[in-house]
A and B are shown apart, each in its own frame.
Chain A
């Protein structure tokens, strides 16, 4: 359960220190290997989704996420204005022609809110996907090969882990400038060590199982075993991890926009709106409050869903009865 973000308990344990799994203790079952059996492993994530939906928090989370997602995707169709046109004077109060008032340049806040969610969702999703791809690759390689490769990969990932994510992003943004692709890439990269650890931990357990041994005995190539046999077996912890990283990607990318390093004007983007309109907080709070609230709803939603999945994964016995 206990989703963690920038600070996995497993975060800084070196390779070959399997004792850390014990050290971590019961708070982090979500990172341990699933108990799935080989024969039903391919439908495991379906089972996970089914079980997760048994919890009320998952349903609530899903509703929140869907609400924001629908708003972000369909918003542009509903917006009364384009996000760029000037509908009044700066920081005009809410009125009949601008339900949420205007922003620092006199643009309609409602329209910019309705247009500004796509980028948040898209960039966060892209960063998480990149992080997952890298992390799963590193984790499979480290977990399925041994010794030297494992040691080297995990040691290098430790270096990435030593930087708080935002500091590493700032370091690279200061080199190449605030470019969207760069931010997505670096945020993804900073996720990869955590995802790699989860993948590696799960792989270590699975690789000793009979069906892997059997496949190896049959001479199936290691790459095919890794992708075809191991990966499908460990989807549950990876899905939980994906949910966690998505939550933190949303927060991190919005924070970077808030610091002025994300999307650039005149783009409509929730993080950027907060940055641009913060000065008008006293005169016209909606231009800040509405994007802040939507980011909050979105991250709470993804976290609830993730928590539900984590609970489903570790089974019902530890559940607190919130379902």
Chain B
């Protein structure tokens, strides 16, 4: 089906173009940092000679466009440069952080997506009943709350003031795997779950209601199909299509949402590494992390777009 392929190809190319522009923004922004990087590294130890030597060493003397070119070339080959502060490769420095954040985000996604799909579709199905009202108002309320507010309320409730069940801060034992320390992940991931699930719930509920009212569901019922078949085979799959976008966007959002949550819970992930790098003016680390987060955002959306086109019969046929 060439038209479909064409659309997918077009989307992919546009996604790549966006990524390129994003890298340009990241690079330009970090280039504009006011504090001289070499001076920031040397601090009060800066003598003119040492500054000059370090600038040379860091390639800070070359034109920005040349630096951008070599940086981009490095990114393409997986070389993100060396941290100016830690003096070791950025990849080595943040790989552990990336894993920690990935564990957090994955856990949050694995809980929030099925939970939200369940609540959303049930809520749509049981429209206007007590369950629906509770879920609707609950998700509307939670959707309004900034994640640090949710996190602090959870700390007050579950860690310090009311109950003392979970630790208010993350204390990872560097010796053992993060999965062996799930207790540490509970509050941060719960915060993320409560931050993203409401949107999925609300989307699914709305699309479920729409699908249930649609002609083909009415038709299926008239044909005498069992309610189970109607819901399982026809209603739910169609209702999920619009939710794919929202799920993808929420997962992508998690990549950035971890910044505040990691700060709140002292969680050693990319978010806290970014805060650290910003205060240290550690350009390569800032570049790497922001590019990583933005790249994830673009890729998640691309995948969601393509998935949506593929699973949506209306669209597929419409293109032909």
Chain A interface (Cβ < 8 Å from any Cβ of B): 1-9, 11-14, 17, 19-20, 22-28, 57, 155-156, 158-159, 161-167, 170-176, 247, 250-252, 254-255, 258-259, 274, 278, 281-282, 285, 288-289, 292, 295-296, 299-300, 302-304, 307, 318, 320-322
| A23–B312 touching, CB < 8 Å | yes
Contact status B249-A300, CB under 8 Å: no
Contacts of A163 in B (CB 8 A): 22, 25, 256, 290, 293-294, 297
B152 touches A7 (CB 8 A): no
- Measured CB to CB, the closest approach of chain A to B208, in angstroms, equals 9
Given the complex, which residues of A lie within 8 Å of B148, measured CB to CB? 254-255, 258, 274
User: What residues on B are CB-neighbors of A322 within 8 Å?
Assistant: 133, 136-137
Q: Does B301 contact A (CB under 8 A)?
A: yes
Write the nearest CB–CB distance from B202 to chain A, whole angstroms.
4
Contact of B249 (CB < 8 Å), options: A8, A158, A250, A255: A8
Kindly identify, within residues 13 to 33 of chain B, every residue whose CB is under 8 Å from any CB belonging to chain A.
Answer: 14, 17-19, 21-22, 25-26, 29-30, 32-33
In the bound complex, residues from chain B placing their C-beta under 8 Å from that of A250 are: 146
- Contact between A12 and B290, CB atoms less than 8 A apart: no
- The verdict on B48 contacting chain A, using a C-beta distance below 8 Å, is no
- Which residues of A have CB within 8 Å of B141? 300, 303
Q: How far is the CB of A121 from chain B (nearest CB, A)?
A: 15
- Contacts A2-B203, A7-B252, A255-B146 aside, 11 further interface pairs with beta carbons under 8 A come to A2-B199, A158-B18, A162-B298, A163-B297, A164-B253, A164-B297, A166-B260, A172-B29, A174-B286, A175-B32, A250-B146
Chain A residue nearest to B150 (CB atoms) is A296
Q: Given A7-B250, A155-B14, A259-B260, A292 and B152 touching (CB < 8 A)?
A: yes
- What are 11 sample pairs from A and B whose C-beta atoms fall under 8 A apart? A19-B315, A23-B309, A57-B137, A158-B14, A164-B297, A166-B260, A167-B293, A171-B286, A251-B147, A254-B146, A285-B160
A3, A17, A27, A252: most-surrounded residue (chain B CB, <10 A): A27
Q: Are A164 and B127 in contact (CB under 8 A)?
A: no
The answer on a CB contact under 8 Å between B246 and A9 is: yes
Say which residue of B136, B275, B298 sits within 8 Å of A320 (CB atoms). B136
B 224-237 binary contact with A (CB < 8 Å = 1; else 0): 00000000000000
CA distance A252 to B301 in the complex (A): 22
| Closest-CB distance, B64 to chain A (whole angstroms) | 14
Is B155 at the interface (CB under 8 A from chain A)?
yes
How far, in Å, is B277 (CB) from chain A's closest CB? 8
B318 touches A19 (CB 8 A): yes
Q: Are B136 and A27 in contact (CB under 8 A)?
A: no
Q: Which chain A residues border B314 with CB–CB below 8 Å?
A: 22
Whether A255 touches B18, Cβ cut-off 8 Å, given contacts A164-B297, A281-B160, is no
B210 close to A252 (CB less than 8 A) = no
Point out the residues of chain B lying under 8 angstroms from A25, CB to CB: 207, 210, 241-242
Q: How many A-B residue pairs have CB under 8 A?
A: 218
Query: Does the CB pair B203–A296 fall under 8 Å?
Result: no
A167, A173, A176 pick with most chain B CB within 10 angstroms: A167
Which residues of chain A come closer than 8 Å to B286, judged between CB atoms?
Answer: 171, 174
Contacts of A22 in B (CB 8 A): 314-315, 318
> Out of A17, A57, A170, A321, which one reaches B275, CB within 8 Å?
A170
Which residue from A23, A254, A302, A318 sits with its C-beta under 8 Å from B144?
A: A302
> Closest chain A residue to B123 by CB distance?
A320
Instruction: Give the chain B neighbours of A320 by CB distance below 8 A.
Output: 127-128, 132-133, 136
**Once the chains are docked, how many angstroms separate the CA of A288 from the CA of B30?**
34
**In the complex, how many angstroms separate the beta carbon of A297 from the nearest chain B beta carbon?**
10
In the complex, what distance in Å separates the CA atom of A282 from the CA atom of B152?
A: 12
Contact with A along B25-43 (1 / 0, CB 8 A): 1100110111000000000
* Contact B199–A281 (Cβ < 8 Å): no
A14–B11 touching, CB < 8 Å: yes
Judged by a CB distance under 8 angstroms, whether B82 is at the interface is no
Within 8 A of A (CB), among B247-290: 249-250, 252-253, 255-257, 259-260, 263, 274-275, 278-279, 281, 286, 290
Give Cα distance in the complex from A304 to B281, angstroms.
41
Q: Given A24-B245, A300-B144, A303-B144, verify A7-B160 contact (CB < 8 Å).
A: no
CB <8 Å contact, A164 and B144: no
Give chain A nearest CB distance to B165 CB in angstroms.
16
Interface string of B104-144 (1 = CB under 8 A from A): 00000000000000000000000110001100110011011
Expressed in whole angstroms, the minimum distance between the Cβ of B24 and any Cβ of chain A is 8
Whether B143 contacts A5 by the Cβ 8 Å rule is: yes
A299 engages B145 (CB within 8 Å): yes
Bound state CA distance, A142 and B120, in angstroms?
35
Select one of A162, A299, A302 contacting B18, CB under 8 A.
A162
Q: Are B202 and A1 in contact (CB under 8 A)?
A: yes
Which residue of A is nearest B259, CB measured?
A: A166
Give chain B nearest CB distance to A101 CB in angstroms.
Answer: 14
User: A140–B79 Cα gap in the complex (Å)?
Assistant: 42
> Which residue of chain B lies nearest to A9 when distances are taken between CB atoms in the complex?
B245
- Residues in A with CB closer than 8 Å to B297 are 12, 161-164
B176 CB within 8 Å of chain A: no
B17 touching A1 by the CB < 8 A rule?
no
